[in-house]
Structure 1
């Protein structure tokens, strides 16, 4: 089933096109990962899919409607996005930051209702951050802060969560912690997860669907066995990769690689 797709999407900054004539479908209730080299349009596509930035032409369709014409609060009840660079939460406690996820549901003076508090506490519980509810966000570790931002996204009660490089600046253990949390949200709550990742082996391990991009266009999309291949990685990243199978997951993994044609 597909609820979100694009048709001949063009996205750019000024006169420079970053994403060109892109048509893509996002599988519902699955984990989709977008991979590609720096500057290929991964983050730009993610932002356009969530209307953070406008597109120049083409359409982004969600549930049969063009998102460009969707009411902002209505759209915020369907999709949440965590950008690569998160806004400062200086002076906020964890509970206060997570409560911002309830904005699409607030009316009048914006007071939180009993239902709002129930959802906030649920989001804290699910992400394992309830203990930090009254702690300053700035006092947390990188992995803990990332969990709190995910809790805020969950508090929006959206069925789709978009994340731009959610494991950046985290050590290996915290990267795995965040990715396993997202996988749990997908498998247990059927959340549709769309994220940009740089680590090919993490993409292969956790994604149901992978989109490989180069120069603003899709080179290959499909499951990990279809995308994490020597020819695709050669075209997308200009590397000669040796691909094996992860002994724990039987998913493809990049064992080693060389640059093609030197530096």
Structure 2
């Protein structure tokens, strides 16, 4: 059974249609990565699935219910999102910021319970930042701050976590640190992870399922072997890519590429847009 899927989803900003008739299943307890060029609708799709923005038609369905009609606190107990640019945490300690993840469970005056404190401490421990609990968030490095935001998402105790470009502005070591943490959460706790990534090789290395978007439509969705391919990348990114094998994981990787000049999509090059055959209805 698929817990989360979209059905004929259309999302617009004003008169501009960004996502078009998009139907796709999100595999449960797997890592799904959304890839595509800037402005193709990756972040827009993520925001619509998590109800940060509304969609014009179609549906996002979670556990058999249309999320547009779901109670906010109930939805917040099922899915958490780490946006591309989290709101400022100026003046907050690490523990205080992580405690915000307990909002869906608070009643009355919103005082934290013993259970809340236990979950907060667990989230800090899992993400390896227990020693920073009383330190100001502003005093941490980029990678450490990203771990704090992930800890806040974990404190929501949701089965599904969405992340919009979680490695942005991080150096290579901290990018790997964050992605390995997310992989650990998936493997050890069965968390469903859905994230937007720009780096194709990171997507291939860490994702079980990849959704490749172009102009608000799915070009291809599947495992890395099905998506990280010359013809798919040509269609999605307008690049002529050389695909090799990662010597450590044996997964496909983009070794090098050139821009395709001029009218790169001739009739014989057309790659059919993805059809969500078997998508839930």
TM-score above 0.5, yes or no: yes
Residue 142 of structure 1 corresponds to which residue in structure 2? 142
Residue 73 of structure 1 corresponds to which residue in structure 2? 73
1:171-220 alpha-carbon deviations (Å, 9 max, x no partner)? 00000000000000000000000000000000000000000000000000
Question: Structure 1 length normalisation: TM-score?
Answer: 0.99
Residue 174 of structure 2 corresponds to which residue in structure 1? 174
Q: Distance in 1 between the 2:128 and 2:205 partners?
A: 23
SS in 1 for 2:250: coil
1:5-61 alpha-carbon deviations (Å, 9 max, x no partner)? 011000011111100000011000000000000000000000000000000000000
Q: Distance in 1 between the 2:47 and 2:32 partners?
A: 15
Please state how far the C-alpha of 1:2 moved relative to its aligned partner: 1.4
Q: Does the alignment pair 1:258 with 2:258?
A: yes
Please state how far the C-alpha of 1:66 moved relative to its aligned partner: 0.2
Matches within 5 A, 1:1-263: 1-261=1-261
Q: Distance in 1 between the 2:189 and 2:158 partners?
A: 11
Please state how far the C-alpha of 1:262 moved relative to its aligned partner: 6.1
Q: Distance in 2 between the 1:187 and 1:103 partners?
A: 26
Q: Distance in 2 between the 1:69 and 1:190 partners?
A: 27
Question: Structure 2 length normalisation: TM-score?
Answer: 0.93
Q: Which runs of 5+ in 1 are unaligned?
A: none
Q: CA RMSD in A?
A: 0.9
Q: Which runs of 5+ in 2 are unaligned?
A: 264-281
Q: Distance in 2 between the 1:62 and 1:211 partners?
A: 18
Q: Distance in 2 between the 1:159 and 1:125 partners?
A: 18
Number of matched pairs: 263
Residue 278 of structure 2 corresponds to which residue in structure 1? none
SS in 2 for 1:23: strand
